[in-house]
């Protein structure tokens, strides 16, 4: 791909701040945090404007310190986390595919042990083992209504704030953690819907395929509903957790500041070449940003000149369309709407997947994709981290909440991830949209912001741990009080025991969100 360096960008409309935890010594970080030493700060902070390092960033240098410390620890533990993840995944599947620990020993004695194979429809992720439910619950009625709808009929049975739609979205968000074969099997055989495709997309900063997303339709012909589900934070993926704790941002004129790591995961930029964000997040021609590309584009004038030059008619390189989650999903949506004229779509995701779910329509707005935006039925996120500043929130609420709310952000109790990145009265990252908050008794409240919005606080420490104890006790009894569907397995209970030391981690598990949707009451 032809790109200009970031130094070639001129103008006030190009602004960013990058926190690089791998740069500078620990003394540089401490001097900047304690004294606001700009020279020390410039060793690990990169900005389009040096004044940011001594100005806005300096005002929040203690939060930047927390971000750097957390990301350094995560980086140090990266390889052990990866190896642990492989081991845990294999062990859990070894147990489940052989029936139990007893079944494993029995098969071992018989010489008939089942060895799990990654990438197959029987190999379930760690997230899947925490909550083994696959079938839809209240959404069964929704699926039946959608299947019985006639071609050309408007969506009358999908209400964004009802339990049926929420259940479908949450189960799809949980399913996004699985491999393509598991997703296909569940969508087709359990949900009786039409599996469209599963994409393993490239993160140009991480230099690996780390962004997964799948699409489904309620039926193969004359579909009424299309659903897009982004995968969330992998529990043993250090890069995913590092992204959640990242403070780096990119500012778009008249829109606001967006979390740089989430933009990279969506496939619309790379901090190693900051001009790439300007390239992918603008309404103007690429000529304004990539003079090399513009020269190639203008020097080839045949009917296939743009494609032969490596640039499509909108200035996006073909390889980017094939690799980037944003472009892959956008182009597939356009194809689907040619086949299903009356369909509308919902975007959903849990954790990091929730951040990508709301960023997707944001970028569509930047690209003036009016037709696709008119087809957007809504966005549902679960345990989603903050994605931008207050200005971004005002802009998106003006577009997504009128004439009716289309963006619902579901938060369970003391979940840590929605409290990231840190926020206070003057800090950068702010939530927006309708917050559906569930307490530990699954009581739903509609509010602007979840309680204890920053999680870390002395006054909340004791209540958080008491609630974690209550949740552990509840997990042991739910199979009796609410039915066998709610019985938690040993692995989920084990995680709750570990979570007593830091309740916000266990609260983030998808089992809490599924239970909130299915048992929640106003």
What is residue 217's three-state secondary structure? strand
Looking from the CA of 243 toward its CB, the CA atoms found within 13 Å total: 31
Catalytic residue among 259, 508, 510, 516: 508
Query: Is the CB of residue 324 less than 8 Å from the CB of residue 266?
Result: yes
Catalytic residue among 131, 204, 415, 423: 415
Element (H, E) at 347: strand 344-350
Burial pattern 167-205, b for ≥16 Cβ within 10 A else e, equals bbbbbbbbbbbbbbebbbbbbeeebebbbbebbbbbbbb
Name which of 355, 458, 368, 452 is nearest 409 in CA terms: 355
| Rounded Cα gap, residues 269 and 266, in angstroms | 8
Looking from the CA of 340 toward its CB, the CA atoms found within 13 Å total: 28
Element (H, E) at 344: strand 344-350
Residue 368 dihedral angles phi and psi, to the nearest 5°: 55, 40
Catalytic residue among 351, 440, 475, 516: 351
Residue 210 a catalytic site member: no
| Rounded Cα gap, residues 448 and 441, in angstroms | 20
Residue 508 a catalytic site member: yes
Name which of 7, 86, 76 is nearest 48 in CA terms: 7
Question: For residue 403, what are its two tokens?
Answer: 């004439």
Task: Catalogue the active-site residues.
Answer: 351, 415, 508
């Amino acid at each position: 791909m032809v790109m200009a360096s970031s130094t070639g960008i001129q103008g006030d409309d190009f602004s960013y701040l990058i926190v690089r935890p791998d740069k500078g010594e620990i003394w540089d970080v401490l001097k900047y945090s304690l004294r606001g030493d700009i020279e020390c700060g410039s060793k690990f902070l990169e900005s389009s404007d040096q004044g940011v390092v001594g100005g806005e960033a300096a005002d929040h240098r203690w939060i930047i310190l927390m971000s750097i410390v957390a990301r350094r620890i995560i980086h140090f533990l990266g390889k052990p986390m990866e190896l642990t993840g492989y081991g845990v995944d294999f062990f859990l599947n070894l147990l489940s595919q052989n029936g139990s620990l007893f079944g494993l020993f029995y098969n071992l004695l018989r010489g008939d042990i089942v060895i799990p194979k990654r990438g197959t429809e029987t190999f379930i992720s760690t997230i899947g083992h925490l909550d083994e439910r696959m079938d839809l619950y209240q959404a069964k009625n929704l699926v039946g209504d959608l299947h019985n709808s006639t071609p050309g009929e408007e969506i009358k049975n999908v209400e964004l704030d009802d339990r049926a739609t929420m259940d479908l979205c949450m189960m799809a968000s949980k399913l996004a953690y699985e491999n393509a074969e598991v997703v296909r099997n569940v969508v087709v055989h359990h949900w009786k819907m039409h599996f469209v495709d599963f994409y393993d997309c490239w993160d140009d900063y991480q230099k690996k395929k780390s962004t997964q997303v799948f699409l489904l339709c309620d039926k193969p012909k004359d579909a009424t509903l299309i659903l897009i589900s982004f995968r969330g934070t992998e529990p043993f993926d250090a890069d995913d957790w590092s992204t959640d704790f990242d403070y780096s941002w990119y500012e778009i004129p008249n829109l606001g500041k967006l979390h740089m790591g989430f933009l990279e995961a969506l496939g619309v930029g790379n901090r190693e070449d900051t001009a790439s964000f300007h390239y992918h997040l603008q309404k103007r021609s690429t000529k304004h940003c990539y003079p090399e590309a513009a020269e190639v584009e203008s020097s080839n004038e045949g009917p296939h000149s743009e494609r032969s030059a490596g640039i499509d008619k909108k200035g996006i390189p073909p390889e980017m369309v094939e690799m980037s989650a944003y472009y892959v999903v956008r182009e597939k949506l356009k194809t689907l709407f040619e086949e299903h004229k009356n369909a509308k779509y919902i975007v959903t995701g849990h954790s990091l997947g929730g951040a990508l779910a709301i960023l997707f329509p944001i970028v569509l707005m930047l690209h003036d994709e009016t037709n696709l935006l008119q087809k957007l039925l809504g966005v549902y996120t679960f345990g989603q981290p903050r994605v931008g500043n207050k200005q971004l929130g005002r802009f998106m609420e003006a577009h997504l909440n009128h004439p009716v709310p289309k963006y619902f952000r579901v938060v369970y109790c003391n979940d840590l991830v929605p409290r990231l990145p840190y926020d206070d009265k003057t800090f950068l990252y702010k939530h927006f949209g309708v917050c559906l908050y569930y307490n530990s008794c699954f009581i739903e409240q509609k509010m602007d912001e979840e309680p204890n919005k920053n999680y870390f606080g002395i006054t909340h420490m004791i209540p958080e741990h008491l609630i974690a104890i209550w949740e552990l006790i509840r997990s042991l009894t739910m199979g009796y009080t609410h039915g066998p569907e709610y019985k938690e397995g040993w692995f989920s209970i084990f995680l709750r025991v570990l979570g007593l030391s830091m309740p916000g981690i266990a609260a983030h598990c998808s089992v809490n969100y599924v239970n909130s949707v299915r048992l929640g009451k106003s």
